[in-house]
Amino acid sequence: MTGAKDPLLNVENLRVEIDFNGAWVPLVDDVSFSVKPGETLGLVGESGSGKSVSAMSLMGFMGRQRGQRLSGTAAFQGKDLLRLNDRELESMRGNEIAMVFQEPMTSLDPAFKVGHQIAAGIRVHQHVTAAQAKEMAIEAMDKVRIPSARVRADSYPHEFSGGMRQRVLIAMAIANNPSMLIADEPTTALDVSVQAQILALLTEMKEDLGLAMIFITHNMGVVADICDRLAVMYAGQIVEEGDVFETFAAPQHPYTDRLLAAMPSIASRRGSLEWIPGSPPKPTDFPAGCRFAPRCRHRLDSCEQPTTLLEISPGRSNRCLRGNTWMEENES
């Protein structure tokens, strides 16, 4: 890694809480990460680990309603995303940071032609005529390889397959040339062969347009395919963060280690599949010390202490209180 660029997005101590029967309960806390221009960060973890909540709070969709609160900073191009007012949020969304969701079925309005929907998004941010916006929409559809984009612009969402609908959403997301894309499980609802097409498209987009991406997924195979770095979330916190190749080769946190070991492989058959005893704690019962400790096979009494995400080598961080001393206990 030469010529380290300044981060495009720098999140520090993000904390999102909700009012639960009169008490503030943290959904995510002490979440810090950064994304450089053109870089793809994978935010991975199981359901309920806080990956979507983190992303949604950056976009202003979470933490701002009644019964919710937000703290920390998210520096993005000279602004703090967590402190934008509604008008500033609106001009940022879709324009500087765009988001693609999991469900290509429900993210489009069934009553409007897709070209119209993409054009509407363009006209929110750019002073162009309806005709110009339509041309730009067709261009965006072309970019995401929708065949005969000019004709398809006049089709309704139900006339598209799931994969094509996801392309429409990506077209919508890139139509205003954002510098960052947040993709929340964009391929989870798709068949594998379609997922492969969308991953190839996103890889192409990030290279051609220099897009930075936050890619939220629970699928380690997808992370291995598309991400440059990954941040592993557990019970509302990042437990490990680092380069994808280094992390897969030698995970530093026992949770990452177990998660990777649990992935069934298409290449070979093992005796029985690995699993982690117990289940993740609910936000109302987060332990005061290491949140993974109750399920961790390397747990010591000292693991009851609060944890911090520490940089262990350039570009790699780990939240395990035992550092990497647990590794020698792994398997005889």
Count of residues of this chain found to bind another protein when the rule CB under 8 A is applied: 44
Q: State which residue, 53 or 244, has the beta carbon closest to another protein.
A: 244
Q: Determine if 43 is a binding residue for another protein (CB under 8 A).
A: no
Q: State which residue, 20 or 245, has the beta carbon closest to another protein.
A: 245
Q: State which residue, 114 or 119, has the beta carbon closest to another protein.
A: 114
Q: State which residue, 81 or 230, has the beta carbon closest to another protein.
A: 230
User: Is residue 77 within 8 Å of residue 58, measured between CB atoms?
Assistant: no
Q: Determine if 151 is a binding residue for another protein (CB under 8 A).
A: no
Q: Determine if 148 is a binding residue for another protein (CB under 8 A).
A: no
As a dihedral over the C-alpha atoms of residue 109, residue 110, residue 112, residue 116, rounded to 10 degrees, the angle is 50
> Which of 25-33, 57-65, 82-90, 253-261 is the region at the interface with another protein (rule: CB under 8 A)?
253-261
Within 10 angstroms of residue 123's Cβ, the number of other Cβ atoms is: 16
Tally: H helices and E strands in the chain: 10, 12
User: Is residue 28 within 8 Å of residue 53, measured between CB atoms?
Assistant: yes
Q: State which residue, 165 or 322, has the beta carbon closest to another protein.
A: 165
Alpha-carbon distance of 206 to 198, in angstroms, equals: 12
DSSP, collapsed to helix, strand or coil, labels residue 131 as helix
Q: Determine if 222 is a binding residue for another protein (CB under 8 A).
A: yes
Q: Determine if 85 is a binding residue for another protein (CB under 8 A).
A: no
Structure-block tokens of residue 272 = 């029985």
- Nearest to residue 182, comparing CAs of 69, 33, 65? 33
Nearest distance from residue 161's CB to another protein, in Å?
4
Q: Determine if 12 is a binding residue for another protein (CB under 8 A).
A: no
Name the DSSP letter for residue 261.
H
Q: State which residue, 218 or 316, has the beta carbon closest to another protein.
A: 218
> Which of 106-114, 133-141, 215-223, 303-311 is the region at the interface with another protein (rule: CB under 8 A)?
215-223
Sheet of strand 97-100, all strands in order from the earlier edge strand to the far edge: 97-100, 180-184, 212-217, 40-44, 229-234, 237-243, 316-318, 310-313
> Which one among 89, 105, 120, 276 touches another protein, defined by CB under 8 A?
276
Say which residues have a Cβ less than 8 Å from residue 8's Cβ, sequence separation at least 6.
35, 36, 37, 39, 76, 77, 179, 180, 212
> Which one among 18, 56, 120, 224 touches another protein, defined by CB under 8 A?
224
- Nearest to residue 217, comparing CAs of 4, 51, 21? 51
Binding mask 159-178 for another protein (x = CB under 8 A): --xxxx--------------
Nearest distance from residue 256's CB to another protein, in Å?
11
> Which one among 40, 166, 179, 197 touches another protein, defined by CB under 8 A?
197
Alpha-carbon distance of 332 to 323, in angstroms, equals: 20
Q: By CB under 8 A, name the binding residues for another protein.
A: 46-47, 145, 161-164, 191-197, 199-200, 218-225, 244-245, 248, 258-260, 262-267, 269-270, 272-276, 279
